[in-house]
Amino acid sequence: MTPDLSAHATRLRNQPLASLAAARAGNSILSASGWRIELARQFLDPEADAALVRFGTQAGLEQAATDLFSGAIVNPSEQRPALHWALRSTPRLEGEAETVRQSVQPALQFARDVRSGTIVSSGGAPFAAIVHIGIGGSDFGPRLIADAFGDSAAPGIDLRFCANVDPLDLDRALAGLNPATTLVIGVSKSFGTEETLYNLARARVWLEAALGDAAAQHLGLVTAAPAKAKEWLGGRDAHVFDMPLSVGGRFSLWSAASLACMIYLGADTFVRILKGAHDMDVHTRSTPLAANVPMRLALLDYWNTSVRGEPMRVLLAYANRLRMLPTYLQQLEMESNGKTVGSDGAAVPVATAPALWGGEGSVGQHSYHQWLHQGSQAVPCEFILAPDRNRDPDGITALTAHALAQAEVLANGRSFADVKSEEPNLTDAVAHQKVHAGGRPSTFMTHATFSPEAFGALVAMYEHRTYFAGKLWGLNPFDQWGVERGKTMASRLKPALAGTGTAADPVTASLIAALR
């Protein structure tokens, strides 16, 4: 943390947020790809804002953008570039980036062929169901896309998801389906992910019991390890698609990992999502820092977490299409930057990525919004208002009013004097309970015409924001050592659970004894 930023935070700490916001209203707006982002209700003033921009310049955010889009090594743990952006590029690229760009095309064509009836089941009937099997980045992104635009899916295809190693998850996904008209898609970059291979193996048994050797024609595998996939298939041919090594799992929804969505929604809808993401890429790589949306939001994350000491951020999606976005972003942000040691092996001297949680507005207003308004912690909130404005106008008006009201009350609060003035017959004891402290900062994002393009731009913006925030903290957003360690420990404990080994940790050993 720079002394300059600390001094500004101290200076502003006791300033009324309502006053700061009133002075900045209309003058603190960012925009990109149709998204309008209002930052007035943050603990910032022009001097602090300018200091943040200087900090971003000193931290090399614009160079970080150049590095990302030029294919430089930005993932030092694996000595790789991060080329997820190439999957959605419209112009032709060069070298490895062009190879990545082309890798999604076979999946798009396969989706078109399934939808047109060119590719059918082994018995000649159209596929009527798709079961997508993956976990983590191979699951959250496709689920988000399918849920966001499921209302526009063509009739006749039932899409289901399975991620958990709990057997019930696959049992639910397969319930009522006909193997003869079901396509099972397995997504694993390494083709070594335990949960995915477990569920894929069970699904293959289910298919083979009904179809025999023809079951392979009902399997689609997406991986960066095709040799492992072919070995798993035992010499039988299935549909195999590439997931490039330079595309991280949690950045892979633009790739063949979303094959199920391409079929379910149609390839053209998916191409529109890619187009919106590319538009945000153009903004990110060509816009100076002061007006660059992902860079400025990454600086805001640094300001609230590392300077002001806020340990969490709440995402409030006032759009039913985006109800799964908080879940998706939990993985994107917390797996990418949930670290305290930089690539140089040194501890980061400030607090890093905040805990991220949230949900769908206005549903959340009837649960955790009470805590947001009157709880003991003033947590920064992020509103996204992006409903389908061509739907019932009364509902859209109500949704909009609720979003605006929540942000206003969080910031401005309600004083004891206000309560007594508005409800003079209340006792003081009750009136005190109705006081809202206010001072809860928030960002407010809106889009006038939400669409697949707007969705793609929004997700790409969060990806770039996460990358730039990692740069500010000195972290590598493209590795996940904590996840890997948990997998290693699980494999070591299986023998103890089976009774052929022991657990070294006494508490774990006690738990295993009780479970057995």
Q: Judge whether 65 lies within some domain.
A: no
Active site residues: 335, 366, 487
Tokens 């109705």 map to which residue? 434
Q: Tell me: do 213 and 305 sit in the same domain.
A: no
Summarised one tens digit per residue, pLDDT across range 57-81 is 999 999 999 999 999 999 999 999 9
> Minimum mean pLDDT among 1-5, 81-85, 310-314: which range?
1-5
Please tell me whether residues 131 and 173 are part of one structural domain: yes
Same domain, 508 and 365: no
In this structure, are residues 477 and 336 in contact, taking their beta carbons and an 8 Å threshold? yes
Q: What average pLDDT does range 254-283 have in this prediction? A: 98
How many structural domains are present in the chain?
3
**Inside any domain, residue 479:** no
**214, burial (CB in 10 Å: exposed 0-12, middle 13-18, buried 19+):** middle
Buried b (16+ CB within 10 A) or exposed e, 481-498: eeeeeeeeeeeebeebee
- Residues 260 and 316 occupy one common structural domain: no
Co-location of 146 and 266 in the same domain: yes
Q: How many CB atoms lie within 10 A of CB 399?
A: 18
Give per-residue pLDDT as tens, 97-130: 999 999 999 999 999 999 999 999 999 999 999 9
Same domain assignment for residues 38 and 103: no
Residue 380's closest CA among 442, 302, 309, 427? 442
| Token pair of 472 as six digits | 């500010």
Three-state SS for 160?
A: strand
Task: List Cβ neighbours of 213 (8 Å cut-off, separation of 6 or more).
Answer: 236
- Residue 180, in any domain of the structure: yes
Taking the CB of residue 515, how many other CB atoms lie within 10 A of it? 8
Note whether 301 and 438 are same-domain residues.
Answer: yes
Q: 407 and 351: one domain?
A: yes
* 330 domain-assigned: yes
Question: Taking Cα atoms as reference points, which of 86, 124, 128, 87 lies closest to residue 106?
Answer: 87
| 417 and 370 fall within a common domain | yes
Q: Picking from 39-48, 141-150, 234-243, which range would have the lowest pLDDT averaged per residue?
A: 234-243
pLDDT digits 0-9 by tens, 10-51: 999 989 999 999 999 999 999 999 999 999 999 999 999 999
> What's the pLDDT band for 135 if we cut at 50, 70, 90?
very high
Same-domain pairing of 408 and 502? no
- State the residue for tokens 């797996």: 335
The sign one gets for the Cα dihedral 24, 322, 141, 149 is negative
| Banded pLDDT at 487 (limits 50, 70, 90) | confident
CA 141 – CA 243 distance, rounded (Å):
14
Instruction: Give the mean pLDDT of 385-394.
Output: 93
Q: Among 224, 245, 272, give the residue marking a domain's end.
A: 272
- Asked whether the predicted pLDDT for residue 154 surpasses 90, the reply is no
Percent of the chain with pLDDT over 70: 100
Whether 500 maps to a domain, the answer reads: yes
Per-residue pLDDT, 359: 97
CA distance 321 to 262: 17
- CA-to-CA distance for 494 and 507, rounded, in angstroms? 16
Percent of the chain with pLDDT over 90: 94
| Contact (Cβ atoms closer than 8 angstroms) between residue 277 and residue 459 | yes
Domain boundary among 272, 298, 328: 272
Q: What is the pLDDT of residue 2?
A: 77
64 belongs to a structural domain: no
Give the CATH number of the domain where residue 173 resides.
Answer: 3.40.50.10490
Average pLDDT of the residues in 192-208 = 97
> Is there a single domain that holds both residue 252 and residue 172?
yes
Please tell me the distance from the alpha carbon of residue 241 to that of residue 131, in angstroms, as a whole number: 16
* N-term to C-term CA, the chain: 50
Mean pLDDT of 500-511: 92
Poorest-confidence range of 1-5, 70-74, 104-108, 392-396?
1-5
How much is the pLDDT for 1? 58
Q: Tokens 């299935």, residue?
A: 238
Q: Residue 19 has which token pair?
A: 């006053």
Average pLDDT over every residue of 442-448: 97
Q: What is the CB-side half-sphere exposure of residue 466 using CA atoms within 13 A?
A: 26
Angle CA(416)–CA(421)–CA(425) in degrees, nearest 5? Answer: 95
Residue 279 lies in a domain: no
Contact 127, 183 (CB under 8 A): yes
Residue 516: predicted pLDDT: 83
Q: Residue 251 — φ and ψ, nearest 5°?
A: -115, 20
Query: Is 80 exceeded by the pLDDT of residue 302?
Result: yes
Flag whether 79 is in a domain.
no
Place of tokens 């409800």: 423
Is the pLDDT assigned to residue 484 strictly greater than 90?
A: no
336, 478 contact by CB (below 8 A): yes
Q: How many CB atoms lie within 10 A of CB 101?
A: 20
Judged against a pLDDT cut of 70, whether residue 245 lies above it is answered with yes
Side-chain-side CA neighbours of 484 within 13 Å: the count stands at 5
Which token pair is 208?
């083979």
How confident is the prediction for the chain on average, in pLDDT?
96
**Start-end of H helices in 59-94:** 61-70
Q: Write the DSSP string, 171-235.
A: HHHHTT--GGGEEEEEE-SSS--HHHHHHHHHHHHHHHHHHGGGGGGGEEEEES-HHHHHHHHTT
Q: What is the DSSP string of 492-508?
A: HHHHHHHTSS--SSHHH
Residue span of the structural domain in which 203 resides: 84-272
User: C-alpha angle 318/323/329, rounded to 5°?
Assistant: 105
Alpha-carbon torsion 173, 118, 107, 147, what sign? negative
- Tell me: do 143 and 205 sit in the same domain: yes
Read off the tokens for 6: 């600390």
